[in-house]
Chains A and B, each alone.
Chain A
Amino acid sequence: MTEKQLTRQQLAAMLLMTDVFALFCLRGGLSAVTAAAFAAACGVQFVLTLPLVVTVRRGRELPRAALWTVLAGLVIWGGGLFDMLWDAAGLIFTVPGNSWTISGRMLTSGLIAAVCVYAASEGRQALARASVIAAALGAVCLAVVAVSAATGSDWHDLTLARSGRGFLGDFTECFAMSGGVSTLILLLPGTKGEPLAGTGVYFAAKGVISAVEILTAALVTGGIMPLVTCPVITAAQLSQPFPTQRIDALFLMIFAIFAVFALAVQTVAAAGALGRLVPQFTRLRSAAVTAAMLGAAFLPISREIRVVGTAVLLLIPLAALAADRTGGRK
Chain B
Amino acid sequence: MRRLFALLCAAGLLTLPGCSSGRVNDKYYLRSVTITGNRDVSLNMDFFAEELRLTGVSGSSPQDARRHAELLCGRDIFTGYTELVVLGDCDSRAVLEAMLRDWRVSPSCLVVYCSAPDELADSLSAEELTGIVREAVRQGLAPECGLVSVLSGLLRGGAEVPEVCAEGFRGVKKIGST
Contact = CB atoms under 8 A, between A and B. Distances in A.
Instruction: Tell me, yes or no, whether A and B come into direct contact in the complex with CB atoms closer than 8 A.
Output: yes
B95 interface: no
Given A240-B106, A246-B106, A223 B2 contact: no
Given A96-B18, A97-B17, A160-B152, A227 B108 contact: no
B148 interface: yes
B155 A227 contact: yes
B151 A224 contact: yes
Interface in B59-105: 80, 97, 100-101, 104
Contacts, number: 45
A283 B155 CA distance: 56
Interface string A134-172: 000000000000000000101001001000000000000
A238 B97 CA distance: 14
A121 interface: yes
A240 B109 CA distance: 11
A197 interface: no
Interface residues of A, number: 22
**Chain B interface extent, by class:** 20 to 34
Nearest to A283: B1
A246 B148 CA distance: 14
A226 interface: yes
A227 B100 contact: yes
A157 B150 CA distance: 12
Interface string A215-251: 0000010111011000000000110100110100000
B126 to A, nearest CB: 15
Given A114-B9, A160-B156, A224 B2 contact: no
A248 to B, nearest CB: 8
B162 interface: no
A240 B152 contact: no
Contact of B148 (A93, A114, A118, A224): A224
B107 interface: yes
B38 interface: no
Nearest to B6: A118
Given A223-B152, A224-B148, A227-B155, 7 more contacts: A96-B18, A97-B17, A160-B152, A160-B156, A223-B155, A240-B107, A246-B107
In the A-B complex, the 6 residue pairs with the closest CB atoms: A223-B152, A238-B107, A224-B151, A243-B108, A224-B152, A240-B108
Interface of B: 2, 5-6, 9, 17-18, 80, 97, 100-101, 104, 106-108, 148-149, 151-153, 155-156
